[in-house]
Amino acid sequence: MQEIDVLVRVTGAVLLLNSALLLVRDGGRNRVVWLFLLLALGVCGFLARNTPDQSLTLSGSSAVLASLLSGNAAVFLWWFSLAIFDDEFRLDRLKLGVGAAWFTVALLDRGLLTDRFSDAGLSWVLVVMGTGMVAHLAHHLLREREGDLVEPRRRARVALAAAPPALLLVDLAIDVAFGFGWRPRWFTIAQNAAILAFAIQITRWLLRAHAGALMFTPVGAPGPAPVAAYSFAGAAGLAAAASGAPPPNGRLLERLGRLMNSERIYRDPDLTFAEFAARMGGSEAEVRRLINQQLGYQHFRSFLNAYRVAEAREALVDPARAGQKMLALAFDVGFASLASFNRAFRLVEGRSPTDYRAERLAANGTQTGAAGLSQQRSGATTGF
């Protein structure tokens, strides 16, 4: 059994690290890649420590490193799972704060900072925090499922939303029934075998496809078409902004142009994908393929926000609307709150709407002033 234990743990660690390094090599600029690398390191730390044989137990600095990595694997899994299903994912202060709190409690629970709290029952604090992270993940994945335009990723949401709670409940039931120290040989090997199965699946995706498989991005998939290329310009502009291939359904494309450019349906902050598909007059699968494969958007929310931000840009540089409050402008273009408007605008422009307005109006004022001065000089020269 010792040989099986070593084989399972080493194979799982090698596959995970190899997959992570391949992803870093092929897509190192994507935050999902680096979050997967953190997850791989955390799981490898867990595999290094999770053995039923005392003779294989780590000691010294290697044991401390493995404990640090494995202690944060749950946070890394939470971050990674959110990132692969959310194109607008950011490690904001809340997520970083939860991660820092988990890291601190884990260090205290394992006696890596001081021995005073090693028997203070902090493991139960981690159980509560882990339950909260799992509940948040499941809620987020299922809430955003309808608007997910990438079919493989949309299907995977249910599995990922169900698997962590199931594993957590099993682990929690065992801890309650037998205590945190209960780890028989068969249970430990079963845990490591489950991780090995996950590593094999990731490796199979990479060998079958490419690094983008982890982000559910097919080879050659177009990026989001620039809104300026088709927004407020009719269906002909939409077709020109597509990937270059003939549209699969010209009727749907024309209908989409009418809804977005003429009726500006995106201004409804409560618009759901099901309602949009019904207004389009096609099946949900057809509409998903159109927006995803022809226009390059992976989520319905991102598609709507692209139009909203495009209209907001026009309003922000309009001198007649220079005094309009940001909240009123956000509501006008379809955002449900000022916070969501600021977040979406910053994602596209890299700056806040307030800064964008100030810079553009200042630049337009300078150009207007320069043009007026040039006309005055021209008039003086000609005697007018």
CA dihedral over 146, 300, 222, 198, signed as positive or negative: negative
State the Cα–Cα distance between residues 241 and 267, nearest whole angstrom: 22
DSSP class per residue in 196-207: HHHHHHHHHHHH
- Verify that 101 and 163 share a domain, yes or no: yes
Domain membership of residue 15 (yes or no) is: yes
- Verify that 8 and 49 share a domain, yes or no: yes
42's CB contacts (< 8 A; 6+ apart) are 69, 70, 72, 73, 76, 77
The per-residue pLDDT for 208 is 58
- Written as six digits, the tokens of 181 are 């120290």
Closest CA to 357 of 315, 316, 304: 316
End residue of a domain, out of 159, 183, 215: 215
- Verify that 169 and 255 share a domain, yes or no: no
State the Cα–Cα distance between residues 237 and 84, nearest whole angstrom: 31
State the Cα–Cα distance between residues 102 and 126, nearest whole angstrom: 7
State the Cα–Cα distance between residues 172 and 176, nearest whole angstrom: 6
Closest CA to 312 of 283, 354, 253: 354
The per-residue pLDDT for 301 is 93
Alpha helices by DSSP H, listed for 28-92, are: 31-49, 60-71, 73-85
- Verify that 56 and 154 share a domain, yes or no: yes
End residue of a domain, out of 215, 239, 270: 215
Question: For residue 276, with 0-12 CB atoms within 10 Å meaning exposed, 13-18 middle and 19 or more buried, which class applies?
Answer: buried
The per-residue pLDDT for 303 is 93
End residue of a domain, out of 215, 236, 252: 215
- What is the count of structural domains for the chain? 2
Domain membership of residue 261 (yes or no) is: yes
Question: For residues 338 and 325, is the Cβ–Cβ distance under 8 A?
Answer: no
Question: For residues 85 and 146, is the Cβ–Cβ distance under 8 A?
Answer: no
Question: For residue 318, with 0-12 CB atoms within 10 Å meaning exposed, 13-18 middle and 19 or more buried, which class applies?
Answer: middle
Three-state SS string across 290-320, please? HHHHHCCCCEHHHHHHHHHHHHHHHHHCCHH
* Predicted confidence pLDDT, tens digits, the chain (384 residues): 788 889 999 999 999 998 888 888 877 678 888 998 999 999 999 999 888 888 888 888 898 899 889 888 889 989 988 888 887 888 889 999 999 999 999 888 888 777 787 777 888 898 889 889 988 988 988 888 899 998 888 888 888 777 767 776 777 777 777 776 777 888 888 888 988 988 887 777 666 544 444 555 544 444 455 444 444 333 334 444 444 444 456 788 889 999 999 999 999 999 999 999 999 998 999 999 899 888 889 899 999 999 999 999 999 999 888 889 999 999 999 999 999 999 999 988 889 999 999 998 888 765 544 444 344 444 444 443
- Verify that 192 and 333 share a domain, yes or no: no
Closest CA to 212 of 25, 8, 13, 11: 25
Domain membership of residue 298 (yes or no) is: yes
- Verify that 160 and 20 share a domain, yes or no: yes
Domain membership of residue 383 (yes or no) is: no
Element of type H or E holding 113 = none
- Verify that 294 and 341 share a domain, yes or no: yes
Domain membership of residue 381 (yes or no) is: no
Element of type H or E holding 141 = helix 122-143
- Verify that 273 and 153 share a domain, yes or no: no
52's CB contacts (< 8 A; 6+ apart) are 5, 183, 184, 185, 188, 189
Domain membership of residue 71 (yes or no) is: yes
**To 10 degrees, the CA torsion angle through 306, 309, 311, 312?**
180
Domain membership of residue 59 (yes or no) is: yes
- Verify that 198 and 284 share a domain, yes or no: no
- Verify that 210 and 238 share a domain, yes or no: no
**Residues, the chain, total?**
384
CATH code of 336's domain:
1.10.10.60
Q: Which domain holds residue 33?
A: 2-215
- Verify that 195 and 249 share a domain, yes or no: no
- Verify that 195 and 290 share a domain, yes or no: no
The per-residue pLDDT for 207 is 61
Domain membership of residue 92 (yes or no) is: yes
The end-to-end CA distance of the chain, in Å, is: 101
